[in-house]
Amino acid sequence: MRRLLLILFLAGGVSARAAVPPLLQAAVMKLAQDTDRWAYTQTAIEKDGKGKARSDVVVRFDPSKPYAEQYIPLKVDGKEPSESQIKKYRRQGEKRGERMEKEEMTGVVATSRRKSVGELMDLDKATVVEENETIITYEVPLKKEGNDRLPPDKFLVTARVNKVGVALESVSAKLRSPLREKIVIKVSAGEGHIEFKTVDPKHPPQLSEIRANGSGSIFFVPIGRSYELRREDYKRVKPFGDRFEVQIGALKAIDF
């Protein structure tokens, strides 16, 4: 149940204003400018509290292809994908295209009904918590305005930046103290971590791994989940959406 991992969903846009710490701003913007220019193979595994796999999906994503062909499932729970599963991912690509075409026509970037952690991160108020010759780590507070699901005092978000390459190395999120959601759901622990790696020295690092776990209860019944995601076999491509002039949100690339 991914609601237990709600602290881990980073997406959406963040404006780059002068008040944002310069290194953090530069690292985020470099990543944003390089988003959607890579094809890759993604493996996502979700496990229950006992470590047993609930789902194991391998998908090839290629933004250079027509939208309906951008998500191609390779394996689903160790098996060849069924026709219905292939259609599911085809529809996922079509929806992506519909969203981008709408943004191109209206000039307005679509936003989710519920604000993501990325949209709620207050980069203007980020503070340095650790620094050495090559690495600087920021604590990034969450905004209160429009935040109806992630109380700022309950969550700790940090971002690590390589000072030499001016590039994001990782983003982490952690639940500070237990959180009760709509009475029946209690999240007692949860954390997530995103790692980036250099695919090509000429370009900013890309997302390579996500690790997330959470535990809590529903109607006082203990439950737990963990989530692992890997991206590999990167290939530089020209996005099919280049025919549009839509700007991707700066934190869209940091998506759990």
The pLDDT value given to residue 93: 94
Report if residue 80 sits inside a domain: no
Report if residue 64 sits inside a domain: no
The number of residues making up the chain comes to: 256
The pLDDT value given to residue 66: 94
Report if residue 248 sits inside a domain: no
Taken in order 151, 138, 205, 213, is the CA torsion positive or negative?
A: negative
Report if residue 33 sits inside a domain: yes
Measured distance CA(44)–CA(143) in Å, rounded: 30
Helix (H, G, I), strand (E, B) or coil at 217: strand
Measured distance CA(136)–CA(26) in Å, rounded: 13
Supply the Cα-derived Rg of the chain in whole angstroms.
19
Please state the rounded mean pLDDT for residues 85-108: 85
Between 16 and 141, the higher pLDDT residue: 141
Cα separations in angstroms, 77 against 37, 46, 146, 225, 230? 28, 11, 38, 17, 15
Q: Is 78 left (phi over 0), alpha (psi -120 to 50) or beta?
A: left
Q: Is the pLDDT of residue 186 over 80?
A: no
Confidence of residue 78 (pLDDT cuts 50, 70, 90): very high
| Count of Cβ atoms closer than 10 Å to residue 167 Cβ | 19
The pLDDT value given to residue 136: 95
Q: Is the pLDDT of residue 2 over 60?
A: no
Please state the rounded mean pLDDT for residues 215-242: 73
Q: Is the pLDDT of residue 173 over 60?
A: yes
Q: Is the pLDDT of residue 58 over 60?
A: yes
Report if residue 72 sits inside a domain: no
Between 11 and 63, the higher pLDDT residue: 63
Report if residue 133 sits inside a domain: yes
User: Mean pLDDT for the chain?
Assistant: 77
E strand or H helix that includes residue 41: strand 38-48
pLDDT tens readout for residues 111-157: 555 666 667 778 889 999 999 999 999 998 888 877 766 677 877 88
Domain that residue 207 falls in: 2-56+114-243
How many structural domains does the chain have? 1
